[in-house]
Amino acid sequence: MSEREATVLLVPGLRGDVSDHWQTLLASRLPRVRTVAPMGRDNLDCAARVEAIEREAGAIEGAIIIVAHSGGVIATAHWAGASRRAVRGALLAVPPDFERAMPAGYPTLRGLRDAGWLPIPRGPLPFRSIVAASRNDPLASYQATAALARSWGSELVDLGEVGHLNPASGFGDWPAADGFIAELDTVAGYCRLKQRRRS
């Protein structure tokens, strides 16, 4: 495996198996990929999700790029503080604001707190990362997402109005993910990230 051939580790949010989710479609076209098994919204145990990320990461030889969505982003932040596994980079798409009440059908604040999700880790992540933010996400304001990106030391990318970047919001495929992964997987891409941070 060459320096630039990282394996992508997909970390889903609080969902089950969704065949038309962009992460599922992304997995079908990547040459080197593993997916943390979705656990749905009934099993909220954050520690179990962190253990699942560690298990899948430990099964990968060589470099890793994490691609997390929604609650998977928050689980990744918890995992990053507990794991020693090196990561080349992470694409963190539309993290939810678990510190405010979710819409109907989503876990309650008390349920999230009891399951170990809160407080959300806010220390700098030990790997470079891109936080992709939506302007009209029903699960987080743009400002809350931007604040998380700052606390994690992540590059913030404004996706515009893409809802929660899921099938209910019209995604489906999300081809831009491929470009972000490529950027994280190259030295040149890393230099572009650093340059954008300075500008």
User: Is the pLDDT score of 196 beyond 60?
Assistant: no
Dihedral, CA atoms, 18, 165, 98, 149, nearest 10 degrees? 130
Residue 50 one-letter amino acid: V
Strands of the 155-158 sheet, one edge to the other? 33-35, 7-11, 64-69, 89-93, 129-133, 155-158
Q: What is the pTM of this model?
A: 0.91
User: Is the pLDDT score of 80 beyond 50?
Assistant: yes
* C-alpha to C-alpha distances, 170 to 56, 113, 145, 174, nearest whole angstrom: 29, 30, 20, 10
Would you say how long the chain is, in residues? 199
φ/ψ of 78, rounded to 5, equals: -65, -45
What are the pLDDT digits (tens) for 8-59? 999 999 988 889 999 999 999 999 999 999 988 889 999 999 999 999 999 9
Structural domains present in the chain: 7-198 (3.40.50.1820)
CA distance 35 to 56: 7
What are the pLDDT digits (tens) for 101-158? 999 989 999 999 999 999 999 999 999 999 999 999 999 999 999 999 999 999 999 9
CB 98 within 8 A of CB 139: no
The H or E element spanning position 92 is strand 89-93
pLDDT at 148: 98
Mean pLDDT value across residues 55-78: 97
CA distance 188 to 191: 5
